[in-house]
């Protein structure tokens, strides 16, 4: 049984609990946040052992194995570091950290203490993504990668009214690239590694990007990724090669199915993901395996992808002058 402590009480916490409940083998020992009303509701609904308004109560609880960190982006580093220093494994919600230096420090600390720090991104653990990697050679020489992850946010309505919530708060490392764009980066870097050049241009509001276009130059091919929270469009992923193309009409966070079409029009479709109603299912199946098998080598392999992703993220943000404190 994996004994879990939760820091945070936002909308992602129920998704985490529902996913891990389906997998089984997780017990929710305690939860901490500043919002007592939400804490009470979560405790009652999911049978969490206790709640506290003091994060340190949960972070230092000797009955907890793993801390799930679901706080605003700007607080990820501080909470994750405290958890590691208290000897806890960590599941850290995306985006891992706003800065490469912070990500490297956390990963190095986890390795030193023989602990797992797990980047809670969905896609790389999904069977469809693994199959995509296998099938890429069928496309021939890659020429163009094109992604769009645009979801109009109700919090943008609040922003237009002058109400700044965490998703668009510069002080909490908000913005479109940090929220939706991190999935695009993780997808592209997960398939192709780090690019030679990074460029990002964005629509800005009070120091954060509400939407933007990321261009990654790999020399022999180019990748373009849109992430938007201030407008809406069809979601898709397309990879074009000189022998065919790959297409999914889903966002880069999910890829519930995809198809490969060759230059003659022959097509093959793949639908390998399980439990589509629970987006986070596959990532927590993998975390459970890493924990139970003490597979530190694989955990550190995932950490290397995280570092590459955050390196690209930091370079992209710098293009717009966004430098979170």
Strands (E), 232-298: 236-241, 244-248, 258-262, 267-270
**Contact criterion met (CB below 8 Å) for 236 and 225:** no
Based on the fold, state whether residues 137 and 73 are members of the same structural domain. no
Which residue, chain included where needed, has tokens 């916490």? 13
Based on the fold, state whether residues 110 and 15 are members of the same structural domain. yes
Q: What pLDDT was estimated at residue 155? A: 92
Q: What pLDDT was estimated at residue 9? A: 95
* Pairing mode of beta strands 258-262, 267-270: antiparallel
**Contact criterion met (CB below 8 Å) for 289 and 176:** no
Q: What is the extent of the structural domain holding 87?
A: 2-122+281-295
SS3 291: helix
Positions in the chain whose pLDDT score sits under 70: 325
Nearest 5°: CA angle at 316, between 314 and 320?
Answer: 110
Q: What pLDDT was estimated at residue 325? A: 67
> Residue 285's domain is classified under what CATH number?
3.40.50.720
Number of helices (H), then strands (E), in the chain? 11, 14
Q: What pLDDT was estimated at residue 54? A: 98
Is 218 part of a structural domain of the chain? yes
Q: Which residues contact 124 (CB under 8 A, 6 or more apart)?
A: 186, 190, 283, 302, 305
Nearest Cα neighbor of 128 from 310, 316, 281 is 281
Is 225 part of a structural domain of the chain? yes
Based on the fold, state whether residues 224 and 115 are members of the same structural domain. no
Q: What pLDDT was estimated at residue 27? A: 98
Based on the fold, state whether residues 129 and 255 are members of the same structural domain. yes
Based on the fold, state whether residues 74 and 142 are members of the same structural domain. no
Taking only the tens place, the pLDDT of each residue in 184-229 is: 999 999 999 999 999 999 999 988 999 999 999 999 999 999 999 9
Is 323 part of a structural domain of the chain? no
Based on the fold, state whether residues 110 and 146 are members of the same structural domain. no
Counting the structural domains of the chain, the total is 2
Taking only the tens place, the pLDDT of each residue in 73-113 is: 999 999 999 999 999 999 999 999 999 999 999 999 999 99
Is 300 part of a structural domain of the chain? no
**Contact criterion met (CB below 8 Å) for 126 and 282:** yes
Based on the fold, state whether residues 193 and 291 are members of the same structural domain. no
């Amino acid at each position: 049984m994996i004994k879990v402590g939760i820091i945070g009480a936002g909308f992602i916490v129920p998704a985490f609990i529902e996913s891990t409940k389906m997998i089984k083998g997780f017990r929710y020992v305690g939860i901490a946040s500043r919002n007592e009303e939400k804490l009470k509701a979560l405790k009652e609904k999911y049978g969490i052992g206790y709640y506290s308004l003091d994060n340190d109560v949960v972070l230092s609880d000797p009955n907890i194995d793993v801390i799930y960190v679901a706080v605003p982006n700007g607080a990820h580093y501080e909470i994750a570091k405290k958890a590691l220093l208290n000897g806890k494994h960590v599941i850290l919600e995306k985006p891992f950290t706003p800065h490469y230096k912070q990500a490297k420090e956390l990963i190095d600390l986890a390795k030193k203490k023989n602990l797992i720090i797990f980047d809670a991104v969905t896609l790389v653990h999904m069977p469809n993504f693994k199959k995509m990697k296998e099938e890429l050679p069928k496309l021939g020489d890659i020429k163009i990668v094109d992604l769009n992850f645009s979801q109009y946010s109700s919090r943008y309505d609040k922003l237009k009214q002058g109400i700044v919530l965490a998703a668009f708060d510069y002080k909490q490392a908000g913005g479109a690239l940090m929220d939706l764009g991190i999935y695009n980066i993780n997808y592209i870097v997960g398939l192709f590694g780090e690019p030679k050049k990074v460029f990002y241009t964005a629509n800005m509001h009070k120091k954060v990007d509400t939407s933007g276009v990321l261009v990654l130059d790999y020399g022999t091919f180019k990748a373009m990724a849109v992430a938007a929270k201030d407008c809406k469009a069809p979601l898709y992923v397309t990879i074009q090669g000189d022998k065919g193309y790959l297409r999914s009409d889903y966002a880069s966070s999910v890829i519930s199915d995809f198809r490969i079409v060759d230059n003659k029009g022959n097509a093959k479709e793949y639908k390998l993901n399980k439990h589509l109603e629970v987006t986070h299912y596959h990532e927590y199946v993998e975390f459970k395996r890493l924990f139970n098998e003490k597979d530190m080598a694989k955990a550190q392999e995932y950490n290397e992808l995280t570092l590459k992703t955050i390196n690209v993220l930091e370079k992209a943000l710098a293009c717009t002058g966004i430098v979170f404190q």
